[in-house]
Structure 1
Amino acid sequence: MLNTRLSETEQEMLHTTYRHLHRHPELSMQEHRTAGFIEARLTELGIEHFRCGGTGVVGIQRNGETPVVGFRADTDGLPIQEDTGAEYASEETGLLPDGTRVPVMHGCGHDVHVSVALAAVGLLASQTDQWSGTIVWVFQPGEETGQGAIAMVEDGLWDAAPHPDVMLGQHVGPLMPAGSAGLVSGSAMAASDSLKITVMGKQSHGSQPQNAVDPIVQAAHMVTRLQTIVSRELDPQTPAVVTCGTFHAGLKDNIIPDRAEFTLNIRTMTEDTRVEVIEAVARIVEAEAVASGAEPPRIEELHSLPRLHNDPVQTEVVTVVLKQELGQDAVVEILPLMGSEDFGRLGDSIGVPGVYWFIGGFDESRMPAPTNHSPHFLPDIEPTLTTGVRAAVSTLGHYLKAG
């Protein structure tokens, strides 16, 4: 039988790997050191690998031609100043695309994902007599910006790697206690669309508003009115979120500027709702510009992520496997999340079903715990990490004819 448990030495290496990665995060599509670290570990284990999508790494663990299973772990950190107080807290900084230097933190658990995947590679490499097939390990950059999966696909991921029969992945968080897992069948995570709205005005002295077209007042009305899309245009049972995340205008208090800019993030669970909300955004901002006697605003797409869909048949398979491994009561059905993921792009690009599940990261006594993207987000090392390894190895083992 395939062993899903780490030895004391393997567990110590897992913990060392995690602390190293947590201490040294890198921003999206800049994960150069992280990619090198992954490559070095795969080389140590004798696993064939190649770069893809810039800072992505793909490992091909061959132990027979079929079946083929894909497993994804994302690698990037976030522009957050860590405030966990951990001995292994990050002190790293990085550059945003506009050149701004910012603190960097693994505030979403991607250090957990990479550490767990590397430990699973090693555990499976030591038991080749217990399984057969091929695993495609996708260490994907740029999940936080939605760039990574599409970059790997466009860089020839599936031209260079065998096509899997199913794509698997997992994510740590505070949804359930450490040691347990949760799944959603069908629509699991929302589509995400980010837009930049540039509002046009006419500049003038602050004491002479009659000579201006004030873009700040205009944009403020837009932001307020945009909140009515969800509350007054959609069916109350239709999940959607419209968030204004940034708002910038002006350089001095006594100058009415010639423009204002704000960004929106939109989350929807169906394509019909997505189209309806985006069309409503355009209608509202254009109408407010007309009401202000201003030029039409500019609407630019910053990035877009598709809905994450868990294949119902394969989700049921994974649920059964995880219950057998972690315990019947440790695996629960959870509600769909309005957060977004680009994991689905990997399988969708070649028509392969996918299953993405969640593992708990905090002892029940610490819940409600800090959420992902919080400066205080720091999962308990155990049993979080070993649970992730057991979940990965057991599900892979099911598909890989493990005896």
Structure 2
Amino acid sequence: MKPLILLFILILLSGFDSKKEINKWIKEDISYLRNLYIDIHQNPEISLMEKETSKKLAGELNKIGFDVTENFGGYGIVGIFKNGDGPNILYRTDLDALPMEEKTNLPYASKVKTTDIYGSEVGTMHSCGHDMHMTVWTGTARALIEKKDQWSGTLIMIGQPAEEIGAGAMMMLNEGLYSKFPVPDMGIALHSSPTILSGKVGFGKGYIMANTESVDITVFGEGAHGAAPHMSIDPIVTASLIVMELQTIVSRNINPLDDAVITVGSFRGGTKHNIIPDEVKLQLTIRTYKDEVRNLIHKRIKEICDGIGASVGLDKSRWPKITMPDTYTP
């Protein structure tokens, strides 16, 4: 954890007079940041529930003199620090954790349980690195304010909620982010990576990360006793056919020179061993770089779902229902 924090802060603190001065600041502040990181890691909150996380980060900005607006677009945070004439620089972090049980056995591992949207109690952890992002974000703000005599302009510190479900950015934009606060001349963001060695920083030309979309598919059927499957139209079998057929979109429909990912991350259906249910819910994530690839994937998902729905004998009104996002990250 420590080397990544140090290196990312180094990148963003190019206004410091010397490497020696940067190293001195890091030595003085790393204990504070490490404790903050552990606190955030032990107290994760999932998308749309980031109340205490948001409050904690807003408090960090308030302590160092930012003008802070809380609960902006859900639990979003906007911190503004004006320091004379100069560019408007936006630096953004995400706030939310994931509904996953932590199995790292670390002494500071999360033991938090959360009730998810299905009413189930699930483990909760910062398994995507947002705890790291928030720590770096806070450390950068603290360092830049300490050295405010060495730069001029306006800092816009954004804490974005609900990143994991692809909703938080639009929530903040719809709330009027760029009409109520300065429009940035440039924006800065980062993401921790499990594939880059500790002590290294990754840069790239062009795309670094893909557009992401979350798609929901409700697969209908006709329930029956598990010992009488011939009296059902089994949605578990139907959904399984859909899952397998979705795998052919990237391998057989997308140009091999284009990048795309379709992953089924959730398959929910049934309540008991011997009951065939009448409904199954699938949750997908889609990653693309080009609009034409995205549109083709959408088209093929619908064609596959309609075709399989018809082939198992469902009435057209009961073919799988697909919920596509209206907006996406371009």
For normalisation by structure 1, the TM-score amounts to 0.71
The structure richer in strand per residue is 1
Aligned residue number for residue 23 of structure 1: 42
Aligned to 1:66: 86
CA drift of 1:184 comes to 2.4
Q: Identify the residue that residue 306 of structure 1 maps to in structure 2.
A: 329
The answer to which of 75-84 and 208-217 deviates more is 208-217
- The unaligned stretches of length 5 or more in structure 2 are 1-14
- Deviation (angstroms), 1:34: 1.5
Greater shift in the superposed pair: 74-83 or 275-284: 74-83
Q: Where does residue 320 of structure 2 map in the other structure? A: 297
Answer yes or no: is the 8 Å Cα contact 1:56–1:140 preserved in 2: yes
1:270 deviation in Å? 0.7
Aligned pairs, number: 307
Q: Does 1:90 align with 2:104?
A: no
- Distance change in 2, residues 1:259/1:7 (3 Å): closer
Give the secondary structure class of the aligned counterpart of 1:241. Answer: strand
Q: CA deviation at 1:214?
A: 2.7
Q: Deviations over 1:50-72 (max 9, x none)?
A: 11112111111110142111010
1:46 maps to what in 2? 65
What's the CA shift string for 1:277-328, capped at 9, x where partnerless? 1100100110111111112221123686424xxxxxxxxxxxxxxxxxxxxx
Offset, 1:257 = 3.0
Q: Rate the CA distance shift 1:120–1:259 in 2: closer, same or farther, 3 A.
A: closer
Task: Please point out which of 141, 160, 163 is paired with 1:140.
Answer: 160
**Which sits farther off after the overlay, 41-50 or 191-200?**
191-200
Separation in 1, partners of 2:122, 2:230 = 40
Distance 1:160 1:92, change over 3 A: same
CA-to-aligned-CA distance 1:367-388 (integer Å, 9 cap, x gap): xxxxxxxxxxxxxxxxxxxxxx
Letter in structure 1 aligned against 2:58: E
Identity %: 36
The answer to whether 1:216 aligns with 2:247 is no
Bigger mean CA deviation after superposition, 2-11 or 88-97: 2-11
Q: Deviations over 1:25-62 (max 9, x none)?
A: 21112111112212222222111111111211111111
Query: Please, which moves more after superposition, 86-95 or 225-234?
Result: 86-95
Look up the match of 1:174.
194
What is the CA-CA distance between 1:240 and the residue it aligns to? Answer: 1.4
Judged with a 3 Å threshold, the aligned counterparts in structure 2 of structure 1 residues 163 and 222 are, in CA distance, closer, same or farther, namely same
1:324-354 CA deviation, whole Å, 9 max, x = no partner? xxxxxxxxxxxxxxxxxxxxxxxxxxxxxxx
State the SS of the aligned residue for 2:324: strand
Equivalent pair of 1:195/1:303 in contact (CA under 8 Å):
no
Secondary structure at the counterpart of residue 41 of structure 1: helix
Q: Report if the CA contact (8 A) 2:166-2:212 is conserved.
A: no
87, 99, 112: which is aligned to 2:119? 99
- Correspondence for 1:288: 308
Structure 1 residue runs without a partner (length 5+): 308-403
Instruction: Confirm or deny: 8 A CA contact 2:165 2:214 kept in the other structure.
Output: no
AA aligned to 2:49 is: Q
Aligned to 1:2: 16
Contact 1:56 1:139 in 2 (8 A): yes
Deviation of 1:263 after TM superposition, in Å, equals 2.3
Q: Structure 2 CA distance, aligned partners of 1:263 and 1:44?
A: 41
Q: CA deviation at 1:207?
A: 4.2
Q: Which one is further off, 205-214 or 275-284?
A: 205-214
Q: Which amino acid aligns with 1:185?
A: K
Residues 192, 304 of structure 1: 8 Å contact kept: no
Distance 1:27 1:210 in 2: 41
Deviation at 1:164, TM superposition (A): 0.7
Structure 1 CA distance, aligned partners of 2:84 and 2:312?
A: 67
3-state SS of paired residue (1:113): helix
Question: Match for 1:35 among 54, 74, 77?
Answer: 54
TM-score by length of 2: 0.86
